[in-house]
Structure 1
Amino acid sequence: MPSHGSNDDGDISRRPLLKGLGAAGLIGLAGCISEEGDVEADNAAEELIAEGFEEEGVEPPFETTVYANSDSSDRIAYGELIQNELNETGFFDVSFDDMEWGAYLDFMNSVAEEEENALLCNGHSADWDPHVFMNNPYHSSAHSPSGINTNHFEDEEYDDLVDEGVEESDQEARQDIYADAQERLVELSPVALIQFGEQVTAWNNDEVSGFKTHPMAGREFTAVYAPHEGVYTEVDNDDDELRVDLGSDVPDFDPISQEDTVSLMATTLVYESLIAVDFAGTPQPGLATDWEQEDDTTWRFYLREGVEFHNGDEFTAHDVQTSYERYEDEVRESDVYDWYESSEIVNDHEIVIEHHRDYSGPFEATGAGDVPIVPEGAEDGDVNLSDGPVGTGPYQFDEHQEDDRFVIERYDDHWYTGDEYDNDVPETPPVETIVMEVIPEGSSRHQALEVGDIDLSQGLPAESVAEFEDDDDFDVDGALGLSNEYLTFPLWQEPFNNPKVRRGISGLIPRETIMDNVFHDVGELAYTPISPILEDFTGTDYQDELAEEHLEVQ
């Protein structure tokens, strides 16, 4: 399920942090203010800004603020670099502020309604189809708070391209459509893309074996037990307990309102979907044993029998229908109602799902593969998911101590028997209990892993990863991810309502400096939203061409 990325330092670099360089020391002087108070543009990107200021009647320097979430040292670092880069032009007087993640999430969701003068450091955790990268943060139907288009960007031409792309089944035609959509987005630049992230995990190899890093943010702990992928994790201790870290507390247990990657991480092994998507994005049987597309907008699913929820309720087609329809008018509504029309329950183990448009391209991986199924009782209050998640997965909720830990334990009545997939995953998860310790500070995570308070970390600071890579007692594993980092502009606020100003700022962002000194060359530079992991839809040369043409990046 796509979401805002809290970026609790999960995209970790592997090079030693450069010493002795403050943010201001990493960037050179650009524009300057003359004795008469006029600002002189020193390069093509600044000329765009100057033109935009003139068109909007704005006199420099313009005051604004860059914001980031306080639990992300990466966002704080690149936010301050952007602050200093803009201040050096003379066109802006930029301050910087940070907030705790929960408050920051609320701020992002209300920033458009309140028309705040704010530039936000943000991230997007996407999925295995380009539509999710292009739709959820930018389509007009996904405005916050019912979607994650937080600055309420709206462009009819862009919407039409995204809608056309999702309804096109021919792969080459889809590539052309999404190329046009990405160019349109760069032309208008409602955000400035910065970096495609990499998922990195480190663990004590005396305690943990078999773990594999998942490329999708929010799915970090999938490899603890993933029969559909042929992956499972073992631990070497008397309690069969795996201790891991979380960058913040778990704010939400209910899928219809989960907007952050930490909530997804904590509940990944609790909830299951109709289709299980493997680590390469390939659909596998999940709660549905088989499915078929009957026409452009009709899909039939045959459901697994003998499955029980953790509360003992039998899993049926009624639960599937409820799980989808609960999204209406909720914060994650667009995840489902972007395509969902209705469903017909044929019997307890067969359901027909109707779309209001052709959603063939992304449906298996995102529509059926990324919507958690919950008990029917969650709709009428018989099952209260705010007290704890209730799913059908291999692990069930045990306890939550606010700001301290989130614990799940092996569900012994899980449906997997060892025969459903052609691999050697054992019938029962080797790990009995997973203790997720809330450890916001990167240095504290390092110490916790080093001294054995935790066995595995998915959010170490950069210098820590380099140290653990050099230590034979630890393994470090990374994978290019399905996420990106970007700066969001307040489109309602002059001069940011002018695309020239936004493109000029995007062209000035010191991406290479950010990559070198914040992300330490882990991940890739970003100018468009779609991750290079979907190589048919993007590439370095294509992105560089758009940056040179529209952002004046040389």
Structure 2
Amino acid sequence: MPSRHEGSGDSRTINRRNVLTTIGAAGAVGLAGCGDQEGDGGDDTGSGGSGEDDELFPLQVQLEVNADNSDRVQLVELIAESMEQTGYFETEVETYEWNTYVGRVLDPEYQNNGFLPCIGLSGTFNPESFCNALHHSSNVGACCNLNGINDPELDELMDSARYGVDVSEDDQLRGERYDEVWNYLAEERYSSITHFDLATSVTNTDIHGFQMWPFNEGIFSFNMFAPQEEQIMWLDRDSASGDSDLSDLVEGGTVVGGLGANIDSFDPPHSSDTTSTMAQGFMFEGLTATDLEGNIYPWLAESYEVVDVQDVDRLAYADYMSTVDWTEEGAADTDEQVIVQHPEDNPDDDDQARVLLPDDALEAAQDGTYGMHYRYHLQEGVEFHNGDELTAEDVVATYEYAENSVLAPQTYDSVLAVDEVDEYTVDIYAQIPDAEAERELPGLLILNANQIDEIEKGSLDPREGNIPIGTGPYEFSEFEDEQYFEVTKFDDYWVEQQGVAEAFDWFDGSDAFPDGPVIDGFELEIVPDDSTRSGALQNGEIDVTYGLNTATLDDFDASEDFIVHGVETGGYEYIQYPVNVEPFDDRRLRQAINHLIPRQSIVDNVLNGYGRPAWTDLPELAQGSGTTDIDALEDEIRPTNEYDPERAEELLEQVAADN
């Protein structure tokens, strides 16, 4: 999901002196050799002339970024200046307020503008989130294929690394398939991942027991209560944190935190930005939970099992499909969620599309046509904040509510159907065997069926008169748009009622670990400006915040009054090329710009070391199932990502000569 930050829109000119200073360190980083890229540009085409021909070069390029994230703005300015130094580009950096920017770049029409957007994305423990989200055609206009990348060969490569009995049962084969994906992306260069973030939070010493979660959206939900890691945070204003343990735990108090952006939505399946998910994590829970290594534990589901796996492909659903027209944009013309589109249909060759719709998908599953069958046994006695008991009806309703939502492409790329077996048992079916099914099938936060039955999709928000109702340890208290958000501890939280050892068979932690969170409430101030949020922390106005400008982190780290927490994350920054707009349809142009991205300098000089250059597209936390050999992969791909202006100019000369 896109990473946070917000600010005011403006257009910036580059401070050349500052940028030239920071780019100096990267200039020494050379490329030893990538002769295999010489010459042949494949089937790509361009639309320009020679290096001296004004018809193509210097090429006018607009890079776009959200205004408030000063690190990201500097990153983009550094890339823009590096491009200009070649003489082949004239660049402009355009900045936007965060929510405006997200709406802008996720508009399907954005791909026609020819702009280069830069944004941050929060991946997962699954390798697909570092390639699929950016590049799969099913994510165009969703999260986060921003520039209309539609490459059937790439789609097939990514699908083959995730789907099928073979890869779901063989991690080695899965890694081999993903290695093919990373190499293909290195050649085509549809996007450029610049670096992997080091997720950081800063707390004052009143906060005890805090540790960093590798995805920003889970910072608060993980720290407030995560028995799978024996993680619990507490507040003690009378003693400074340091080597605190459970014997020092203090109950009560209110933590004041700083959010880096406004909460755009309280509606889980109809939002994807980090800050919204962070807020939702206080109030909503999922069927499963995850520890720091990505291991999966039953949560709202007391237990679950794989009932059956069948070697089927999506053609198996042909007899259950309906026929609909195509829209002018080439999509299936239906208001219902398309679960599966017939793989052999396309608008260029066929008058109509065959699609599997939700009711027909359920019928297929009940008839025994499916790829995988998971069964979830729900915890009994789980109470929503409105007093309703969690049942299978709530789970089924949640998935129906997610149809045609922002998260639908990431849900219904695997989910076939969800079926109520009895009051506390739910079956979730996958379309075909999926190596990531255990994590992806139960991926939604569970909503209250009675509430969502009474509202319009996407309107689960206090600004629309609908107070969020979940099963989580905290319940909604107050929200003032663009100012603050408050939650208070839910008195009837189900884990606390049952006891952690009784609720979770897998819990083998200390008897001293509490049965629920110990903090009474959270007050989250919405402070988009990094420097203002940093000042609020220094002045004691807030206790904890995250995502500060890296230039300030060393000062906090040096102070005895604060603790900086950090961990390499699944978060990453990337720019994406408008591949459907000339001359960016020529991959040599994209490769050239990629060689002008000073990744090491970005980490050293913009991020002050709080990050790692993306020599491959795969972070540490997803390497286990994402490659057969990370060292070999880096040796192979890193040369294509090295800062190398000389190689970039060679590629640009080839583009110019062919146009």
Q: TM-score, normalised by structure 2?
A: 0.75
Q: CA deviation at 1:301?
A: 0.6
Structure 2 distance, partners of 1:511, 1:48, is: 25
Report the Cα offset of residue 540 of structure 1. Answer: 5.5
Report the Cα distance in structure 1 between the residues aligned to 2:472 and 2:195, rounded to whole angstroms: 33
Tell me, yes or no, if the aligned pair for 2:5 and 2:261 is still in contact at 8 Å.
no
The residue that corresponds to 1:179 in the other structure is: 179
Match of 2:117, SS state, is strand
Cα distance change of structure 1 residues 144 and 198 upon mapping to structure 2, 3 Å threshold:
same
- What is the CA-CA distance between 1:133 and the residue it aligns to? 2.1
Q: Which residue of 2 is the match for residue 386 of structure 1?
A: 461
Answer yes or no: is the 8 Å Cα contact 1:45–1:552 preserved in 2.
Answer: no
How far did 1:83 drift? 0.8
Instruction: Return the alpha-carbon distance in structure 2 between the equivalents of residues 135 and 284 of structure 1.
Output: 25
RMSD of aligned residue pairs (Cα, Å): 2.8
Counterpart among 138, 157, 163 of residue 161 in structure 1: 157
Deviation of residue 544 (structure 1)? Answer: 4.4
Partner of 2:329 in structure 1? none
How many residue pairs were aligned?
Answer: 527
CA distance in 2, matches of 1:165, 1:281: 19
Match of 2:353 in 1: none
Distance 2:171 2:639 in 1: 27
Aligned to 2:570: 482
SS in 2 for 1:93: strand
Q: Which of 297-306 and 228-237 deviates more?
A: 228-237
Change (3 A) 1:48 1:311: farther
Look up the match of 1:506. 594
Name the residue aligned to 1:231: 231
Which residue in 2 is equivalent to 1:397? 476
Match of 1:6 in 2: 4
Measure, in 1, the Cα distance between the counterparts of 2:428 and 2:453. 22
**1:367 aligned onto 2:477:** no
Report what 2:561 is aligned to: 473
Match for residue 279 of structure 1?
A: 292
SS in 2 for 1:27: helix
Kindly provide the amino acid, as one letter, of the partner of residue 88 in structure 2. Answer: F
- 2:211 pairs with 1:212: yes
Q: Is the 8 Å Cα contact of residues 45 and 503 (structure 1) preserved in structure 2? A: no
Shift of 1:281: 0.9
SS in 2 for 1:137: helix
User: 2:65 aligned with 1:64, yes or no?
Assistant: no
Query: Equivalents in 2 of 1:507, 1:418: separation in Å?
Result: 52
Change beyond 3 A, Cα 1:517–1:331? same
Name the residue aligned to 1:34.
none
Tell me which residue corresponds to 1:522. 610
Aligned: 1:79 with 2:165: no
Q: Check the 8 A contact 1:45/1:551 in 2, yes or no.
A: no
Aligned counterparts of 1:235 and 1:310: Cα–Cα separation in 2:
24
**Aligned residue for 1:38?**
none
Please name the residue that 1:13 is paired with: none
Deviates more, 1:450-459 or 1:420-429: 420-429
5 Å-filtered alignment, 1:109-128, equals: 109-110=106-107, 112-113=109-110, 115-128=112-125
Amino acid across the alignment from 2:621:
I
Q: Is 1:535 paired with 2:626?
A: no
Query: Which AA in structure 2 matches 1:438?
Result: I
Query: Which position in structure 2 is the counterpart of 1:340?
Result: 415
Corresponding letter in the other structure for 1:6: R
Matched, 1:256 2:269: yes
The equivalent residue for 1:450 is 538
- Alpha-carbon separation, structure 1, partners of 2:525 and 2:640: 47
Q: Is the 8 A contact 2:71 2:550 kept in 1?
A: no
The one-letter code sitting in structure 2 at the alignment partner of 1:376 is A
Give the Å deviation of 1:280.
Answer: 1.7
Give the C-alpha shift of residue 317 in structure 1.
0.6
Does residue 431 in structure 1 map to residue 514 in structure 2?
no
Following the alignment from structure 1 to structure 2, what is the Cα–Cα distance between the partners of residues 77 and 365?
Answer: 36
Q: Is the 8 A contact 2:139 2:145 kept in 1?
A: yes
Unaligned 5+ runs, structure 2: 8-15, 28-33, 50-55, 238-250, 310-371, 648-659
Structure 1 or 2, whichever has the larger Rg, is 2
Unaligned runs of 5+ in 1: 10-19, 32-42
The residue type equivalent to 2:638 in the other structure is A
SS in 2 for 1:374: coil
Query: What's the CA shift for 1:464?
Result: 2.1
Match of 1:496 in 2: 584
Larger mean CA deviation between 228-237 and 418-427 belongs to 418-427
Determine the C-alpha separation between the residues in 2 that align with 1:151 and 1:266: 29
Instruction: Report if the CA contact (8 A) 2:45-2:586 is conserved.
Output: no
Structure 2 SS opposite 1:183: helix
The answer as to whether partners of 1:6 and 1:69 remain within 8 angstroms in 2 is no
Over 3 Å counting, the alpha-carbon distance change for 1:235 and 1:185 in structure 2 is: same
